[in-house]
Amino acid sequence: MKKTTSFLLLLALVVAGRLSAIDPADVKPVKNLIVLIPDGTSIATVSTARWYQWYTHPDRPNLAIDPYLCGTVRTFSSNAPIGDSAPTTSCYMTGHPSRTGYIATYPPADPGNDIFPVDSTRAYQPMITLLEAMRLVQNKATGLVFTCEFPHATPADCSAHSYSRKRYDWIAPQMVHNNVDVVIGGGTSLLDADGEAYLKSHGYNVYRDDLAGMRADGGSKMWALFGKRDMAYDLDRDPAKQPALEEMARKAIEKLSKHENGFFLMIEGSKVDWAAHGNDPVGLLTDYVAFDKACAVALDFAKKDGQTLVVVVPDHGNSGFSLGRRDCKGYDKLTKDQLFSFVTKVKCTAQGFVDKLNAAPATEVQRIFRDNAGFELTDEEMQTLYNCKDYKNSPIPEDKRSEKESLAALYSNSLYGFVAKLLTSKTCFGFTTGGHTGEDVILAAYHPAGTIPTGVNTNIDLHRYMAAALGLSGKPDQLTQEYFVPHTEVLKGYKYTIVPPKTEKDNPTLVVKGRKQQLTISPFTNIIRLGKKAKDEAQLSTVIVYVDKNNTFYLPRSITKYLE
């Protein structure tokens, strides 16, 4: 594309991009913010989940969010119209779109492709999030509730900084050290001994797969993790072992609302996205319905409380899910029973079937499908299942399994893929992709004074709206320039060295020599060590981030006070 055209497109979004009917200046202030994010949710997912709920509970024909749907959001990455989880929720939290994989981190410029102006001098700078701003400026309590593992993109976007969403070793310690008051979600295997010790020594109660412990907990600071990594899909969940998202939301609100200064809470229906990626209609619809119940909890609280803003917004679409499919002849004349009877009877998700099939001998396959989905496999379907590469109990030796012996329409390398296709084949639902999609996402909002965003908003507009409601307009950017400053700038005039890591797994250390004091700074926590032997420690109010791409430590300006 010609450079001039690119520039005009960029300008068009900046100048005319705002179509929302509300000006941030008109937003009435609130005390609390609850943001609910159904990850990877396209509007067809919401519509079909509503039918699902109506069909199974005729007394509840609507979703909890229905009365509050108010507009749509264009959610994009800095240089791509189709968003990734990391930069999209980052943008809601910081006000800046970023690149695929970037967690609350400023993107490098991509001239000609950037959708919004990008300042190349700020590449890789961590950006203060709304969660961090509310804690730093207003001393509000903060909380995160989700069903994925805790360092996964969306919870990380609120409370950590990394140009790579995959680097859990950089992200997890930041989340532990970022003073988040209440964390409920997945990932027991990702909270290491150091992290747990830090939390416990700072007044947190920590629970691992301890539902009774979480329920009985009356403290104000808590981490409750369930499942080695992600939690189970709601439909597969053992209610004696793991809480529903609705209960997690209620517990978090109960704790956070006791805080006199108010609170920030992000609640994510994390695995709506995973089911969409996997093209599993059962996981998709049931996890969305479970998410909507958490929305009901938040909305009920907000209406009673009268000081709470609730925003419900997906981070991006996913899978091109459709109610109606090309190869399903006459689908637009099907009755409600023909469309929804099957899917609402299935008792576990595609992942649930995989777990059951891998845990039982092949002789149990028909019983598993009969008991949990009301049908048996045909001979061809059974052959296709046996040929899945990762089916543990297949009577066919692994090296003899092949696509040739399978039904082409249902064949998948993975057992999960096969089950998802099999379940979908019994419906008239469709999927166009196993990845994200770029259409606008729904926006629902409840504001006690009714000042809600309407019309078409960009992800940047939505950040500005939430910041305005909290009296924090422009504040995250100001705080970024105060708390995430390159070490070369903060330490001008001081002697310092970056000590390379001892092993590949470690991070470099920054050693700074002041006139009287020496600092040893390791990244990804809020702790710095003082003295020649680094024996004493001090705690900062934000985490320290190191970026290897530019060999830079990002530090608070005030760190120099420890050197005097």
Residues that bind Zn ion (CB under 5 A): 39-40, 85, 273, 315
- E strands, 49-160, in order: 69-74, 141-149
Distance of CA 356 to the CA centre of its chain: 27
* Least spacing, CB of residue 165 vs Zn ion, in Å: 10
* Least spacing, CB of residue 291 vs Zn ion, in Å: 13
CB nearer Zn ion, residue 85 or residue 458: 85
Residue 240, SS3?
A: coil
* Residues 6+ away with beta carbon under 8 Å from 355: 236
* Least spacing, CB of residue 316 vs Zn ion, in Å: 5
CB nearer Zn ion, residue 132 or residue 315: 315
Q: Is the C-alpha dihedral spanning 419, 346, 278, 361 positive or negative?
A: negative
* Least spacing, CB of residue 320 vs Zn ion, in Å: 15
* Least spacing, CB of residue 224 vs Zn ion, in Å: 23
CB nearer Zn ion, residue 100 or residue 451: 100
Other C-beta atoms within 10 Å of 77: how many? 30
CB nearer Zn ion, residue 156 or residue 282: 156
Place of tokens 């996205």: 273
* Least spacing, CB of residue 411 vs Zn ion, in Å: 28
Other C-beta atoms within 10 Å of 211: how many? 17
CB nearer Zn ion, residue 83 or residue 195: 83
Contact at 8 Å (CB) between 320 and 433? yes
Which tokens in the block code for residue 422? Answer: 């099999």
Contact at 8 Å (CB) between 484 and 545? yes
Q: Which of 65, 35, 24 is nearest to 289 (CA)?
A: 65
* Least spacing, CB of residue 189 vs Zn ion, in Å: 22
In the bound state, the residue with its beta carbon closest to Zn ion is 85
Q: Can you tell me the distance from the alpha carbon of 22 to that of 16, in angstroms, rounded to the nearest whole number?
A: 14
3-state DSSP of 315-383: CCEECCCEECCCCCCCHHHCCHHHHHHHHHHCCCCHHHHHHHHHCCCHHHHHHHHHHHHCCCCCHHHHH
* Least spacing, CB of residue 451 vs Zn ion, in Å: 28
Distances (CA, A) of 348 to 341, 355, 377, 535: 15, 10, 16, 53
